[in-house]
Chain A
Amino acid sequence: MALQMFMTFGSWNCLLLLVALEYSKASSDVNESANSTAQHAPNAWFAASSSEPDERISVFELDYDYVQIPYEVTLWILLASLAKIGFHLYHKLPGLMPESCLLILVGALVGGIIFGTDHKSPPVMDSSIYFLYLLPPIVLEGGYFMPTRPFFENIGSILWWAVLGALINALGIGLSLYLICQVQAFGLGDVNLLQNLLFGSLISAVDPVAVLAVFEEARVNEQLYMMIFGEALLNDGITVVLYNMLIAFTKMHKFEDIEPVDILAGCARFIIVGVGGVMFGIVFGFISAFITRFTQNISAIEPLIVFMFSYLSYLAAETLYLSGILAITACAVTMKKYVEENVSQTSYTTIKYFMKMLSSVSETLIFIFMGVSTVGKNHEWNWAFICFTLAFCQIWRAISVFALFYVSNQFRTFPFSIKDQCIIFYSGVRGAGSFSLAFLLPLSLFPRKKMFVTATLVVIYFTVFIQGITIGPLVRYLDVKKTNKKESINEELHIRLMDHLKAGIEDVCGHWSHYQVRDKFKKFDHRYLRKILIRENLPKSSIVSLYKKLEMKQAIEMVETGILSSTAFSIPHQAQRIQGIKRLSPEDVESIRDILTCNMYQVRQRTLSYNKYNLKPQTSEKQAKEILIRRQNTLRESMRKGHSLPWGKPAGTKNIRYLSFPYGNPQSAGRDTRAAGFSDDDGSNPGSPSITFSAHSRIRSLQKQQAPEIIPMKSLRRGGKTLSFGYQRSTSQEEHMGGSRRVALRPKPPFHAVDEEGESGGESEGEAFAVRSRWTTDRGHGRDYHRSHSPLLQRK
């Protein structure tokens, strides 16, 4: 097993370190002349452990205590990262188990080392460190990467399930454990109701993100995916609010009795804390979105703005005892949409990666700390308590899932099937959150804290390892169509075709939301928010840079010759060649199927693929690019064949995303720069879009005069801005081609844009008049134009 191999390899570093340590301990004296850095650490350890006073000025001094905490934390993170690399080297492993398994194992390893060497571990986690530094990045990442549209489409069910589910679980587990504690035989008499409730609340913090990876592979439906995601997102916040409230109650209980008024006040507070937190987040989100509107000249601080405002929202909410978690989530969700359009492409990438990195570091630290506290003597093993905790966790999750979804199914257009509910039930994996909360229980209030921690650890280990590993097979088993593995080539091909077909038809139908509120918000958004929050000149989108990433020149050449050389994309292909056409042997079928499975385009997915620990390389974007280039060819062919291609018109709206830069520009100077841009394959050229834009508006009138067949469409409701042009489709081929030539000679701003409908949401009144640009025809068009200017390009 690669894991095993790697674990030994990864731990090798640490073991080496410790062996060296033992050696240096055994040796009598500090070797002062030792200056190799490799020996630095062992020497340091020795220096830390030895208390010999040395008053002389030494040439070489060690102060390990000074660096101990960051030093060891760095080593841990490095170790975890190395382990992750090893984990992903063996490609089947990530499919078998969630990555949190690996992190826990690494943590246990570190814990074992620390325990084995009697080394005092640095105090990584206390309450303030956890809540102020470790938790916010994790929550921020969840909020930022949330697929907004499906989330808000299902928001009713998500809120219903996440909020009530957490409450039912917390209360249910707490109360039933309290009943167990009343049984004398178990020796749990000193655990009172409040403590049980608190334990119930912390143990009900599920972290089902780990199972999302499984879902993605198994292609579960979108709403199920969103349920799990929404639960992961909101659950933490709700649990922490509940936890803090119960801690307050417990403190109060120590000194005076709790009266019904207090409980009522607590409930009211629960709501205030939650809603207030969300409000705070929204306000901060808008502020930061507004600020990024003005950062075009100092794009380096764009990520900073995003992070600082998110963090500020968290801190500000915490100052007022509101829920910081909900605030930072709401802040991320609010600003994401606007910030992404405002910031430059590089900042956007930076934000994404930095966010992933921060949250990944936080979680790694928590898991390692969990491992550290797993191995040790600070446990209190109470069979009854642990077993009943485990049982109640499952029972109450089942009860809450089936009861809550039974109710919410009555109101849903597309109810959750029993199968979906089983999967949701089974996805109740506990994670870092539960452990942290248990670990942070104040010992003064909870004499049996050790038992709570032990029980929490058992639940986490059980759910992460057993449920986490078996949920993949379970989902696949429930998903009946997956079981039919023996497919012929025809089936393989036809099925993929049908998937694409279905996706295409779905796109034709558009997204249907069932919420009037959402439509209202979209209108409001179009009318006011976007105008305030988003820069006037449209920023480049991800698709632009992506398009540029593929070497522009090569793309042009490919398009020019109409041939996509197979070497264009340097993906080594090891598929076996099939010789001769005789009978089909099973191996042939197998190999052809493999080729098809690996190389057929994937169906586009609406929910972004989400992985908590990694940002996937955007294969879908690359694929989209490839398809665009190829389809352009087919469009051109069909044009030659005489199928009429409507002439496109560039249209300016806020919703446009550029696919590529224009092949030409009315100003010759502009053309030259563009040609230069092609040759040097410039990564980012912030000026270009605006050039195009002004050019576009300038030649508008020109076009009007020159082309009699242009029908200026009525200016849509958005005023002159969205004025668009279109050629009426020519009926005869001659006219058509003639038109093409004419247009080819005319300065034309053929920038290619596509309406990112998936991201901006479905159709609505607002979008009805949002003119979308026609990229395809533009491209076909631009091609012609490009050809007429090709000498220019060839010269350079």
Chain B
Amino acid sequence: MPLKAVILIGGPQKGTRFRPLSFEVPKPLFPVAGVPMVQHHIEACAKVPGMKEILLMGFYQPNEALSRFLVSAQQEFKVPIRYLQEYAALGTGGGIYHFRDQILSGGAEAFFVLNADVCSEFPLQEMLEFRQQHGDMHSFVILGTTANRTQALNYGCIVANASTQEVQHYVEKPSTFVSEIINCGIYLFTPAIFQHIGEVFQRNQQELALEENSNGWQRAEVIRLEQDVFTALAGSGKLYVYKTDGFWSQIKSAGSAIYASRLYLNQYSKSHPERLAQNKPGGPVIRGNVYIHPTASIDSTAVLGPNVSIGEGVTVGAGVRVRESIVLHGASLHDHTCVLNTIVGWDSTIGRWARVEGTPSDPNPNDPYAKIDSETLFRDGRLTPSITILGCSVTIPAEVVILNSIVLPHKELSRSYKNQIILALPAPSCHSSPGYLCTICCLQLPGRSWPISKTWEL
């Protein structure tokens, strides 16, 4: 059966919780367990028999990183991959509706839609088989998983018939408890979905026409699959949920990138052990699951892991300890440094004996259904302890401690910092007056206060 897959990758205004890491590279290309986030999706899709084409859909402007990635991914996975650029942010349903002809071209009988910012086992084949058993060739399937009662409220909640698995009720982020089964952001559709999306589009247009002073910002084409389509389809006999116990997590913040890396590295240890580093004579000490890019240079007295990803061209000096961290390409860790729960940005340097440490935000290990929290940046006026992030080209001097802090790109620190956001100096090419951060390279600041006040969101 001819199939396609659409991976929704969003755009620059989305994924703001992933800053400052997303300043350098679009979030969907951020490396998780050593490879770009969406590469895991592509690998899973390419494995499904009958996959004709993978379409990445989003509203990023064409850029070099994306183009290069598409070329190399096509070569590696031997399946056509294209980027379809939405002319505006059209929502999770608007994009696929706009490009419906492209998706259906070549006679696709069904297609998967996957959100780029999730990490998963991608049981795509199982979803196809499930549909055959429980529904029919016209049924749509949502991948669901179990959350605990409190955290379920942060997701799309699905109520399903216990025997038929038909979705009876769907609510996106309810304020009271509805169901522990949550929407994983991975769907299996048939061409019939476009009829339902089209109906939403029509309704939107009618509503907008009725409004006297439409402000021009709203578009009828912005359609949200979850709120607009699934809610309506629930109880109609067309929508089903396939529940999985496999690993799954959203990747909204930097902390969840480290958690997702752990999940994928764990998967490698079972399915692709050759991708993980091994202990060997003359090599560094490896504990647990560690990914090391072949071009990285690691001293034999370093101790790495568990859950460490070392990127291209990274150098790790003598007696370095890295644990639960991602070290991005070109970074350099000098002798005796200790890096824990941290993302070290591209081309950053950490001086001798420095300690760079964050606080993990992992889900409760005693609760099998706990999910990673997306913490707000501030709580009670203080920065919530979180993963330490060094942006690109940051320099950490020798012998300091950087704890629970976020260092924006190109900053050269001169002392220790704890529980702080350290802003970059304005780049001369894109700022208008000293002391302000321009809107191109930076973040929205409330008013003009310095330092940052409480409700600031990255």
Q: Do A and B bind each other?
A: no
